[in-house]
Amino acid sequence: MKCLLKRFVYCALPLSLAVFFLSALPVLSQTTEEVFPPCFNESELAKVREWEKTWVGKKVNAANVDQVKNLLPDTLVTMMKEPARWGAKELWFEIVPYQFVPQSKTVAEATKKYSPNIKFSPNGFKTPWGEVYPNEFLEGYEKGETGAGFPFPKAKTGLEMAWNYDSLNYGDHWFRYIDGPSVNARTGGERKAYQPQWVIMFSGRTDMPPTPMIQPNKRGIRQALYMEILEPADMYGTHHLDVFHMDPRKENDAYIWIAMYRRVRKLTTTARGDTIDGTDENYDDHTGYYNHVNRNTWKYLETKEVIGSRHMVKENFTRQKGQAFWSGQLRERCKVYLLEFVNKDKEYVYSKSIMYLDTETYQCLYKEIWDRQGKLWRFLDSQIGVYKSVQGNQVIAPVGYNYVDVQRLHGGPNAFGSPKFGGEMKPDMFTLQHLQRVGY
Amino acid sequence: MWLARVLAFILFIVALPWGKEAKAYVSLMDGRLMLKGSIDTFWIVRTHIPGQETQWHNSNVGMMLNTIRVEPMFTVVNQDDLTINIQSIFRYYFEAMTVLDRQMHEALPAGNRNQYEYPRYRHDDPVNELFVDVVKGPWNFRLGKQIITWGETELKRTTDVINPMDLRYSFPGISPFEDLKIGLWMLRTFYKSELPGELLFETIFIPGDHQLMRIPVSGSNWGSGLFNEDMPSSVANHWVTWLQDNWKHDAPKRLRSLRYYQWGMRLRGYTKGVDWTLQYFDSVDFIGTAIPDRLNNAATRFFGFGKTDRRFDRYFTYERTRYVGGSFQYAEERWVKGILRGEVSYQIGKHYNLWDPKAGDIDQVLQDKVVQRDAVGYGIAIDRPILWPWLMKYNDARKIDLTFQVFQDWILRHQRELVISGRGKGDRNTTSLTIQLMTYWFKQELTTVWKSLYDTSGYGYNVLSAVYAPGDHWRYEAGSMFFYSYTSWHPSSREFNSLDKDCFYFRLKYEW
């Protein structure tokens, strides 16, 4: 017996430990760039640089957009050729050189730490909105056990890419103003929106202690959003609270405090498909997708080279009154994953959507949306920028975004004002108690 | 002169800087002072004015209410753990129709007319709300004039009983309760606990600020106008006016009598997906209870049943009543696919007068005694978006928001002689059903709403409205309100006031 124990201590145990560490070594020893490599290899980059010699600094508009049409979504090309329909004399953007966007060290560290242990749950389950099938849901996600960072740094399937998108945390806490009008391009009429917004990650945290999850988190919250509406005028004083649970079996809680009624109103999840206050986005849209991953079926279509906005500066946005789509975007060559997703709810307002996910950052650069009749309906052009958080970490986040309704010629050119990442926020702010107290 | 004022007001609205890029609010002093407001004109055009009432109208325009509203919010302190704000809403209005229409002008007694045309019913009426809001750690104190909403339902009030309403200018179907409520001076306190269930404790103390329910002034648009053929209209008109004058005269003197204090508390929590509240409110009734022998005396004098010259210093008392109740909200996504809301209230010891059955059909004669009764009421609401594929082609794929509500109430130990406004003598309980359908069109620039209410006590209404909001500031609203009623004549009942009040209404509003 003693002999066996000795053999185990001297041989088996070190061997087991060595196997464990060696298996984790490829991930643990990788640098940030190895975990999240640039989208172009050396030869590809050389070709891109060559192309940039012709195009960098050039203004792309209706006159020359056909020359780069293979690198743009068809919807955008069509729009740029018909600026008058969008209330503009000219729709244009500028080409800038490709720059690698590395993930922040904190996200990379978390990815290295947690991703080796991520696996799909072999069990499916039913939820109020439909079924989550086996191998769709991350095991332990409902308890926050999946940690933080990207669960699939080498994502291959659409579902894995969607889970990566779900892990974006913008420095754990972020504040910004939604600043932009809802524009009727036919009439030139505008309805302004100005809405401070606070978002906190309860789980999947990488930048601000406690990581990876705020404790206690008895309600099992994934993230929460708090928004105050200052404009439009008839909605002034409205406060909105959105609480997402980690467990998809629990419905998200959405509340609105309406100044006119002085009541906290719970919103039905079914209403999430409705457009928000005359804009061209619904509650699930945001700057890409904003709901539980498993509400959709995801399909990876292809990896494609595009020109997308990844180093946008807010000051470059420009438009005239009545113009429903921004001009002045800074766009660069990059690669995206084309990801098609279909909501499992057969009554959902969209029949399908395609996201263009940046392969380096997993940010959504474009999105095309089809209506229930299968006709192209909405288009999202999102502009990404690189910020520093309060802690000094790099944060990759949208600078602005622009949904348009291509059927009704309507759009919402938004730019985020005063963004602040990693600022102090108390979890108390994201409670019903707070919503009741801020209402007068 | 008056016409010039109205025209000047309309010109002022039309001359506002529409089309200019402007914020929806004004921010001053580095954002410490935010000013928001609106200016609007609200017209009611009646579809029909019955024969006897035509003597009091020169046209079918029943109301032309012009309102300016300013909402300053001043941040006094905004530190980490301490925030002090001053919140306020000031509102000044001018009802022009009783000035422009000489017959309507004559229909209202001078004193009532003055209180009706301007916010002069009470000296602080232009102050809709004004309070200091102090937030320190888990505590929140609000001291000043406030409007409070408890409960979860609309169109009928079960647990939302803190503020009385002013029904002289609008109606719950046309305006939200919050535009109809009268602010009360009070101290409201919140304490945000760390206990499970996100418990929020709330208390209210109202030190003697008692206000009456303001019912429509006789002779005004919503006021009594249809008279029993057996009774001279002038007598009925004066009787209602006399009642209104004395309700006001006999009401507790505001803030001068602590005996009429009111207080309440509410606990709000969240348990297993249900938002719930429990509440208690110890109040003084909005509506007076007659001192029977004195009112009988006055009625005798008015209606000529006998001769008496006795006069009294007061005819009504305002009695204490208590409410215990609660409410909930719950998202039921599996079956209902919507939100369930509900509220329940148990009212303790409301005072009632009793008709004297020996007096036959003459309702103005009361028994000598006043009785107390308890009442139970509840309201259930279902909010559910409806998918109507055909319509979605036209309304930007918006769903239709459906709200269906049921209300019921019972008076315990009911008897036919109880004097109860707005319900028949045999109505131990009443049931109300309401339905509301709302959807948006043209990217939410146009909102259409249909509201309908049916009450088993014998009345109901239908409201159809459309609000067009093309930009940041201008709002155009048009609607219709049609009533139905089959109950008998009764001076203070709502069906009496609303019968033949079918109307179209229009609102032009500029807000910033």
CB contact under 8 A, A431 and B198: yes
Tens of pLDDT, residue by residue over A387-408, are: 999 999 999 999 999 999 999 8
Q: Which chain A residues contact residue B135 at CB under 8 A?
A: 437
Q: Which of A32-36, A173-177, A388-392, B230-234 has the least mean pLDDT?
A: B230-234
Looking at residue B108, the DSSP 8-state letter turns out to be S
Looking at residue B8, the DSSP 8-state letter turns out to be H
Q: How many CB atoms lie within 10 A of CB B82?
A: 12
C-beta separation of B142 from B187 below 8 A = yes
C-beta separation of B239 from B300 below 8 A = no
Spell A324-359 as b/e; 16+ CB within 10 A means b: bbbbbbbbbbbbbbbbbbbbbbeebbbbbbbbbbbb
Q: Considering only the beta carbons, identify the residue of A263, A264, A278 that sits closest to B443.
A: A278
Tens of pLDDT, residue by residue over B337-355, are: 889 999 999 999 999 999 8
CB contact under 8 A, B333 and A268: yes
CB contact under 8 A, A440 and B129: yes
Shortest distance, CA B100 to any CA of chain A (angstroms): 31
Q: Where are the beta strands (DSSP E) in B251-399?
A: 262-271, 274-284, 289-290, 316-317, 320-332, 338-355, 366-386
Strand partners, B352: B371
- Residue A21 CA, distance from chain mean position: 33
| Domain B2-511: assigned CATH number | 2.40.160.10
Write out the two tokens for A343: 């909501």
Prior bond of A212 cis (ω within 30°): yes
Q: Considering only the beta carbons, identify the residue of B24, B133, B177 that sits closest to A236.
A: B24
Distance, first Cα to last Cα, chain B: 29
User: What domains are there in chain A, each with its CATH number?
Assistant: 67-102+162-438 (2.50.20.10)
Q: What is the mean pLDDT of chain A?
A: 90
pTM: 0.83
Q: Which chain B residues contact residue A253 at CB under 8 A?
A: 273, 331
Q: In a mutagenesis test of the A interface, which of B71, B162, B340, B472 is the best target, namely the one with the most A β-carbons within 10 Å?
A: B472
Q: Considering only the beta carbons, identify the residue of A218, A233, A436 that sits closest to B473.
A: A233
**Which single residue is written with the structure tokens 């145990």?**
A13
- Residue B80 CA, distance from chain mean position: 38
C-beta separation of A129 from A269 below 8 A = yes
Task: Please check the confidence at residue A15 and state whether its pLDDT lies above 90.
Answer: no
pLDDT at B307: 63
Give the integer Cα–Cα distance in Å for A383 and A403: 11
**Hey, where are the domains in chain B?**
2-511
Q: Does this complex have an ipTM over 0.95?
A: no
Shortest distance, CA B469 to any CA of chain A (angstroms): 9
Q: In a mutagenesis test of the B interface, which of A131, A260, A262, A426 is the best target, namely the one with the most B β-carbons within 10 Å?
A: A262
pLDDT at B489: 43
pLDDT at A224: 96
Between chain A and chain B, how many beta carbons pairs sit less than 8 Å apart?
A: 160
CB contact under 8 A, A234 and B273: no
Q: Which residue of A has its CA nearest to B132?
A: A440
- Residue A412 CA, distance from chain mean position: 18
CB contact under 8 A, B331 and A265: no
Prior bond of B164 cis (ω within 30°): no
Tens of pLDDT, residue by residue over A89-137, are: 999 999 999 999 998 999 999 999 999 999 999 999 998 888 999 999 9
Tens of pLDDT, residue by residue over B239-272, are: 778 888 899 899 988 877 788 999 999 999 988 8
SS3 string of chain A?
A: CHHHHHHHHHHHHHHHHHHHHHHHHHHHCCCHHHHCCCCCCHHHHHHHHHHHHHHCCCEECCCCHHHHHHHCCHHHHHHHHCHHHHCCCCCCEEECCCCCCCCCHHHHHHHHHHHHHCCECCCCEEECCEEECCCCCECCHHHCCCCCCCCCCCCCCHHHHHHHHHCCCCCCEEEEEEEEEEEECCCCCEEEEEEEEEEEECECCCCCCCCCECCCCCCCEEEEEEEEECECHHHCCEEEEEEEECCCCCCCEEEEEECCCCEEEEECHHHHHCECCCCCCECCCCCCCCCCHHHEEEEEEEEEEEEECCCCCHHHCECCCCCCCCECEEEEEEEEEEEEEEECCCCCCCCEEEEEEECCCCCEEEEEEECCCCCEEEEEEEEEEEEECCCCCEEEEEEEEEEEECCCCEEEEEEEEEEEECCCCCHHHHCHHHHHHHCC
- The helix (run of H) or strand (run of E) holding residue B302 is helix B292-303
Task: Please check the confidence at residue B328 and state whether its pLDDT lies above 90.
Answer: yes
